Structure formats: C-alpha cells, structure tokens
Amino acid sequence: MSNKLLTLWRYLRTPKKFKSRAQIEKWQRKRVAKHIKFVRKNSVFYANHWQGLGDEDWQKFPLVNKALMMDNLENLLTIDLDLEEAYSIAKSAEITRDFSPHIGDISIGFSSGTSGSRGVHVVSDNEGSNWAGFMLARGLGSSILGKHHVALFLRANSNNYEKINSKRIKFSFFDLLKPMEQLQKEVEIANPTELIAPPSVLRYLADNNCKINPKRIISAAEVLDPIDEKIISEYFSQIVHQFYTSTEGEMAATCEFGTLHLNESIMHIGKQWVDEENGLFHPILTDFMRTTQPIIRYLQNDILVLQKEGCKCGDARTAISQVMGRSDDVFYLQKNNSDEFEPIVPDFIRRAVMRLNPKIEAYHAIQKSRSKIEIGLQPTNLDPLDFSGFEELFKEKNVRKAELIITEHSHIPSTNKLRRIYRECEME
Ligand SMILES: [Zn+2]
C-alpha cells in the first residue's frame, strides 16, 4: 500500500466512537494478542524481559520505563539499526532543520524531553503514515472529503504530515525556530482552516491579535493550562481542542465537547494509581500500533486525572479531566515534624497562584529548592497579593511553609517548551 493510501485507510478505520467498554476491550484483545506475539518474536529485549510469562499473561509483564528503554534500545527494536549512525543523523537533522532524518524507510528523532536524558524514537514510514491517518481521524472536525488547510507549529520532526499533502488536504509547517512575529505574518497569509500548535503559541497569537479564522484549534505538545485555554478560547470564539501526545505515543484527543478521551483504539492504557480516591494515575502504555520500537507496559511519568462522570458525547473511551503534568512537575515540601516530603501536584500550586491576584494574565511557579518557590507573574507589580491560597495549602498538606519569591513572568514561544509549573531541585 502506498503511504497516502495507508493514511487514508487508517483514517477510515479509526473508530469515531466506541459504544461500550466491552467494545473497546474486544477491539484491544485481538490486537494486543497479535502484537505481543510479534514483539516476543522480533525484540530480543522484550523476549528476555518477559521470560517465564506466557503471552496471555501480558498484563503481568514487568514494566518498562524510559531509562530501561534507552539503555536497551538496540535490542529492543524489532529491526537492525546502527544506533551510532541513527544518533548522528538525528542530531544533524536537528541542527540543520532538515526534517527528513532517514535511514532507509526508518526515521529517527529525539524526544523534546524537558529534563533528564533525552529519548530517541525510531519510526518506520508505514507507522508514520498510519499515525498521520489516525491523527487526521482524531483531529479534523469535519470530513476528510472537505477542503482543509492545516497549519502546524512544531519544534520537532514532522515529515509524516508533509507526505499527505493532496488537493483536499494541505499542510503548512511553521518552524518554531523562526521569530514569532514573522510566523504570525506567515500564518495570517495562510489563513488555515485548522491550527495545531503548542498552547504558548496559540496564546501568543491571541495576545497579538492574530487575524485568522480557523474552524478548529488544537493545542499540542505542551500542557494546556486553564489560564491559557480561557484566553485562547475567548479570542478565537471556540473550544480549544487538544492532542495529548508524548514521545511514547498519541495518548488522548478531545471530542466535540472538548473532553480528552484516551486513544484506546491504538493503545491499552493501564493505571498505576497515585491517588485512587481522586482518580490520579500514571498511565501504563501498551501501544499495539508501534512495531519498530514497541511500547509495551511502559510506565509513563505523567499524571492523569480520571473524569468522574462519563462524557456527554457518548464515547466509551476513558475521559480524562486533566493532565496534571510530569512527575518532575510535582513539588515536594517538607512535612511538619518529620524529615519526609509531601508531594504537591501542580494543580494545587496553580490554584494557589491564581488566588494571588484576580488580574494575573500569565505566570510560572518553580520549586527552586526544598524550601523555596519562585513565582513569576504577568503583569508585574500586581497589588495587593493574597497569599491565603498558599497558606491554606501548606496547612492542609501539613507541610512547612515554603519561602515564596515573587518575580516577573515572560515567555516568548520558541523551541523551548513552556512549562508553567515545575520543580528544578532534585529530591533524591
Ligand atoms: Zn466526549
């Protein structure tokens, strides 16, 4: 099958909705079973990792994480690949912004990790085409048969999209290395029907009165903070849709009501509970579409929050009320009368920050040390600042008061990810 056909096929084969959990389970069961069999046969690493357990016990397979995956990448891949060569190709592609780092029909990219070791991801052309079709199915509001001009603001490899340019669907790629002012002019000339960009870019376009009329806006690649969602949504007079993706896969997308649903048609997502009562968990990904670099029982360090009630759209795919961010976005503060530390998820920090002053337009909060939190605010010199949100938080969590350092916030969208809340200090 040609790549364009494969994309179209995947687009048509991607269910728009699932009626019941039973239907999802049935869909997954077949595909997972076939995939596990393939991976055991073709990946030396996984075959060893699963020794002693049968395919039917796949939900008991030991977990995999990023460090384990990167340490064993060559053996984990189901193809022969010279990793040294792959690394150097991916590196030079990043420098030259040549978005076709290929060895044969394999493309290689670095993950845009925000901290720690950077990941490498290896994808075949077929997987790429499949992926593009899937993203179209989840992303385009109206039929693929209408005319679409999709504008993509990305900081990483995107040659999957360019391949599917056709009479009806056109993709324009906007490289975040260029100055935002120039990118805004270019996107105004393009006037796309669909706009896919990190929320920091969408926010910039809204703040700078960008003159475009997209039918659909999709936030991708960064966590969408409610403060940005509100302003973007108001400016463009529409719901802000989301693609929630990571290097490890396309984890969720929004329905017509703007609710994130897990992409359970391409992966099984298990839960490692962080706080079961409140529905907080780390996802355990088993992606049954990725064959070159299989992702099986992969523990991801994002924290997701289950939506308690189902979604009005009627889709049985698991609804997520919020992506709370990565583990290193969680603050740790010292407990009262103890040497131990209490985890504080970013949402609590965000709420406390927002209570400082009702006129806050943008912010960041960084845990600088075990007892210091820097808070950057925009506009500056807001007065008065109400610290009761933080005081209540410290009291409720029974932790020692952290020193709060107020500074200014500014962020210009670029290849650097915007992270509003994160921890800079190591806790180990
Ligand atoms: Zn929904």
User: Which DSSP string corresponds to 328-369?
Assistant: GGSEEEEBTTSS-EEEE-HHHHHHHHHTT-TT--EEEEEEEE
pLDDT score of 91 more than 90: no
335 alpha carbon, distance to own chain's centre: 31
pLDDT score of 173 more than 80: yes
Same domain, 231 and 124: yes
Residues within 5 Å of ion ligand 1, judged at the Cβ atom: 255, 257, 259, 311, 313, 315
| Local confidence band at 177 (pLDDT 50, 70, 90 cut-offs) | confident
pLDDT score of 213 more than 90: yes
Distance 18 CA to ligand 1 centre (A): 11
pLDDT recorded at residue 417: 79
pLDDT recorded at residue 162: 60
Cβ proximity of 231 and 207 under 8 Å:
yes
Is residue 351 in some structural domain? yes
Residue 368 tokens read as 């600088």
Distance 289 CA to ligand 1 centre (A): 23
Cβ proximity of 258 and 319 under 8 Å:
no
pLDDT recorded at residue 283: 96
Distance CA 167, CA 159 (A): 18
Of 271 and 94, the one with more pLDDT? 271
Is residue 173 in some structural domain? yes
pLDDT score of 112 more than 60: no
Which DSSP category does 57 fall into?
G
| Local confidence band at 129 (pLDDT 50, 70, 90 cut-offs) | confident
Domain-ending residue, one of 326, 354, 385: 326
Pairing outcome for strands 216-220 and 302-306: unpaired
Distance CA 349, CA 328 (A): 14
Distance 82 CA to ligand 1 centre (A): 43
Distance 24 CA to ligand 1 centre (A): 15
152 alpha carbon, distance to own chain's centre: 15
* Least confident interval from 18-27, 115-124, 281-290, 371-380: 115-124
pLDDT score of 116 more than 60: no
- Give me the phi and psi of 78, to 5 degrees please: -90, 5
User: How many domains in the chain?
Assistant: 2
Distance CA 292, CA 72 (A): 14
Distance 259 CA to ligand 1 centre (A): 5
- Give me the phi and psi of 290, to 5 degrees please: -90, 115
Is residue 92 in some structural domain? yes
pLDDT recorded at residue 205: 96
Burial of 426 (0-12, 13-18, 19+ CB in 10 A): exposed
Same domain, 167 and 207: yes
Q: What is the pLDDT of residues 306-358, one digit of tens each?
A: 998 889 999 999 999 988 877 778 899 999 988 899 888 888 899 999 999 99
Same domain, 343 and 255: no
pLDDT score of 118 more than 70: no
**Distances in whole angstroms, Cα of residue 367 to Cα of each of 37, 335, 339, 400, 417:** 45, 16, 18, 14, 17
Distance 20 CA to ligand 1 centre (A): 13
| Local confidence band at 298 (pLDDT 50, 70, 90 cut-offs) | very high
Same domain, 305 and 362: no
pLDDT recorded at residue 152: 86
pLDDT score of 157 more than 70: no
Distance 256 CA to ligand 1 centre (A): 6
Please provide the DSSP assignment of 263-311 as one string. -TTTEEEEEEEEETTTTEEEEEEEESS--SS-EEEEEP-EEEEE-SSPP
Is residue 428 in some structural domain? no
Q: What is the pLDDT of residues 408-425, one digit of tens each?
A: 998 888 777 788 999 998
Q: What is the pTM of this model?
A: 0.83
Cis status of the peptide bond prior to 379, with omega within 30 of 0: yes
Taking CA 411 as the corner, what is the angle to CA 182 and CA 108, rounded to the nearest 5 degrees?
Answer: 70
| Local confidence band at 160 (pLDDT 50, 70, 90 cut-offs) | low
pLDDT score of 269 more than 80: yes
Same domain, 173 and 30: yes
Same domain, 287 and 349: no
Same domain, 360 and 289: no
pLDDT recorded at residue 98: 58
Distance 253 CA to ligand 1 centre (A): 9
Of 2 and 33, the one with more pLDDT? 33
Same domain, 307 and 380: no
| Local confidence band at 85 (pLDDT 50, 70, 90 cut-offs) | confident
Query: What average pLDDT does the chain have?
Result: 87
Distance 355 CA to ligand 1 centre (A): 30
Same domain, 318 and 340: no
Domain-ending residue, one of 295, 326, 357: 326
Residue 361 tokens read as 């337009």
Neighbours of 226 (CB within 10 A): 12
pLDDT recorded at residue 138: 75
Domain range for 362? 330-423
Distance CA 129, CA 5 (A): 9
Is residue 397 in some structural domain? yes
| Local confidence band at 115 (pLDDT 50, 70, 90 cut-offs) | very low
CA dihedral 37, 65, 89, 252 (to 10 degrees): 80
Counting residues of the chain whose pLDDT is more than 70, the rounded percentage is 89
Distance 398 CA to ligand 1 centre (A): 37
Mean pLDDT score, 244-262: 88
Distance 163 CA to ligand 1 centre (A): 30
Distance 373 CA to ligand 1 centre (A): 36
Q: What is the SS3 string spanning 230-249?
A: HHHHHHHCCCEEEEEEECCE
User: What CATH number has the domain bearing residue 75?
Assistant: 3.40.50.12780
Domain-ending residue, one of 296, 326, 356: 326
Same domain, 255 and 379: no
Same domain, 111 and 199: yes
Distance 313 CA to ligand 1 centre (A): 4
Burial of 388 (0-12, 13-18, 19+ CB in 10 A): exposed
Mean pLDDT score, 157-178: 71
Residue 169's nearest CA partner among 187, 206, 142 is 142
Is residue 250 in some structural domain? yes
Same domain, 166 and 313: yes
Is residue 392 in some structural domain? yes
